[in-house]
Amino acid sequence: MTTAALAGLLAGYGIAIPVGAVGAYLVAVTARTGWRTGAAAALGVATADGVYALLAVAGGSALVPYLTPVTTPLRWVSALVLVVLAVRAARTALRAHRDGALASRDDGSAPLSPARAYATFLGITVLNPMTVIYFVALILATGPDAPASAAERTAFVTAALAASASWQLLLATGGTLLGRTLTGPRGRLTTALASSTLIVVLAVRLVG
């Protein structure tokens, strides 16, 4: 079971550490809204990773033939959602700067509460079926050492979830520190626009 837990930790960090569009958006949201909202968003990402790890150890190899045909459409949807969020964040930052204060809002209409942040980031991450394919490939590659018993599978999934959560929370902490450092209106506007640009670039690379 220790071996399965170690494999889960390595798998969780392996899928979480490469910072893509979702990670960049997580940092940007946390910088604008604070730790509680950022932590909720981070746990939303980790939950999706945990669900996909569970699907993988529960027979995910059988799902791959069904997921492969829809991988590209889902990646396009994920990229489109991220671009829309980035554009709305930039628009809100510009409007708030013009009005003299950068509000903690994600779209100019409703506050981004922790619950809403969790649901948003869970949804964005679930749209990436490559995560389950990654876990399945990793498990198949381990051959006889793959998690077999229920206890080993539980240990693998729990460790993968913990690894993803710890990394996403680290990103959220970075966003919190960034928000506290750039407290001036000009600095926060610059950060918001730079992060929105980065998110768009990474989203385009997602489908490139």
pLDDT over threshold 80, residue 177: yes
For the chain, what is the radius of gyration of the CA atoms?
18
Exposed/middle/buried for residue 81 (C-beta within 10 Å: 0-12, 13-18, 19+): middle
Which pLDDT score, from 0 to 100, does residue 156 have? 87
Q: Are 1 and 152 in contact (CB under 8 A)?
A: yes
| Cα separation, 168 vs 51, whole angstroms | 16
pLDDT over threshold 50, residue 202: yes
pLDDT-derived band at 61 (thresholds 50, 70, 90) equals low
| Cα separation, 63 vs 146, whole angstroms | 17
Domain ranges of the chain: 2-207
Which pLDDT score, from 0 to 100, does residue 104 have? 45
Dump pLDDT digits (tens) for 18-28. 767 788 889 88
Which pLDDT score, from 0 to 100, does residue 109 have? 45
Dump pLDDT digits (tens) for 105-115. 444 445 679 99
Q: Are 129 and 74 in contact (CB under 8 A)?
A: yes
Q: For the whole model, what pTM was predicted?
A: 0.72
pLDDT over threshold 70, residue 102: no
**Spacing of C-alpha 39 from chain mean position:** 11
pLDDT over threshold 90, residue 116: yes
Q: Are 203 and 55 in contact (CB under 8 A)?
A: no
